[in-house]
Amino acid sequence: MKRLFSLAGAALVAVATWAPVNSHAAGVVVLDEGFGSVSGLSGWAQVNRSIPPGTGWFQGNPGVFGAQAGAPDSYAAANYLGAASGMGMVDNWLITPTLALNGLTTLSFFTNRAGDPGFFDQLEVRFGYGSGTSADGFDTLLLTIGGEGEFPAQWAQWTTSLDVQGEGRFAFRYLGDAATLDYIGLDSVKVVTAVPEASTYLMLLAGLGAVGVHARRARKGPRPLSSR
């Protein structure tokens, strides 16, 4: 089963999936982050490309809402002050560590927003090959939450899958006109990738994967898998 998926997915699959995360239970968990300490994150990167830059991603504020799991403040948050003083354009990135991926890979996470009426938060989820943190490298848009689509004002889980071989990073990008933004949270980020195969097979897939990277840049309006 797993092998079949790997072969079929040689080209990048950049769409949200409706399948629950645990349907890929045969995979290996390469990232499982609950944000107990945002400032103490290991291997993660933050890039604030806002104009003008203000506050980065920060420890969750339980006075706004509590975490999806763990201690009340154990989530990562971003707000309209990503652009200094809340005036300007927010473009605030939180990037996972470099992950060794091995075929079909599923990213799942929970997100939430403050939900004050009149504001429209927007979160993009992107993928980039390699270990870089340059925005140019994250040219694969996996999900857009909010903006023109729905962004629930309660913790909701989202998943997305892609087939990829080699190193890569996922990026959470909070963006928009600061005047329209409010506050969002991110929790329980989990990445599961396929179990490694024999080395020759891996090399073959790596080559195929590289060819397929730019094949699709789908943008859909996904909906939350579940919420609570």
Partner 1 sequence: MTAAKLTVLLRQVAATLTCALAAALAGAGAAQAAATVVIVNQNAPGEGFNDPTPADPVGGNTGTTLGAQRLIAFQRAASIWGATLDSNVTIRVGAAFVPLSCTANGAVLGAAGAYEIWTDFPNAPRANTWYPSALASKLAGEDLTTPEDPHIIARFNSRLGLFDDCLPGSPFYLGLDRRPDGQIDLVTVLLHEMAHGLGFQTFTDDETGEQFFGIPSVWDYFLVNNRTNMPWVSMTDEQRRISAITWRGLSWNGPNVTAAVPGVLAPRTNLNIGGANAGAAAGDYYVGDASFGPPVSASPVSGQLMPVVDQPNGTGLACTPLDAANTLAVRNNIALVDRGTCDFVTKARNVQEAGAIGMLVVDNVPGDVVGLSGSDPSISIPSLRITLSDGVAIKAALLQRSRTRSGVIASFTLDRTRLAGTDRQRRILMYTPSINAPGSSVSHYTTEAKPNQLMEPSINADLQHVVKPPRDLTFPLLRDIGW
Cβ proximity to partner 1: between 84 and 210 the closer is: 84
Taking only Cα atoms into account, the Rg of the chain, rounded to an integer number of angstroms, comes to 17
Q: How far is the CB of 228 from partner 1 (least distance, A)?
A: 20
**How many whole angstroms separate alpha carbon 83 and alpha carbon 78?**
11
Cβ proximity to partner 1: between 84 and 206 the closer is: 84
Separation of first and last alpha carbons in the chain = 31
Q: How far is the CB of 17 from partner 1 (least distance, A)?
A: 31
Spell out the alpha helix ranges (H) of the chain. Answer: 2-8, 199-212
Report which DSSP code applies to 53.
B
Residues with Cβ within 8 Å of residue 52, at least 6 apart in sequence: 83, 84, 88
Cβ proximity to partner 1: between 79 and 165 the closer is: 79
Cβ proximity to partner 1: between 86 and 149 the closer is: 86
Q: Give contact residues for partner 1 (rule: CB under 8 A).
A: 55, 58-59, 61-64, 72-73, 77, 79-81, 84-87, 114, 116, 118-119, 179, 182-183
Residues with Cβ within 8 Å of residue 18, at least 6 apart in sequence: 225
**How many whole angstroms separate alpha carbon 3 and alpha carbon 19?**
18
Give residue 175's identity as a one-letter amino acid code: L
Q: How far is the CB of 85 from partner 1 (least distance, A)?
A: 4
Q: How far is the CB of 91 from partner 1 (least distance, A)?
A: 18
Q: How far is the CB of 61 from partner 1 (least distance, A)?
A: 4
Cβ proximity to partner 1: between 60 and 168 the closer is: 60
**How many whole angstroms separate alpha carbon 144 and alpha carbon 85?**
25
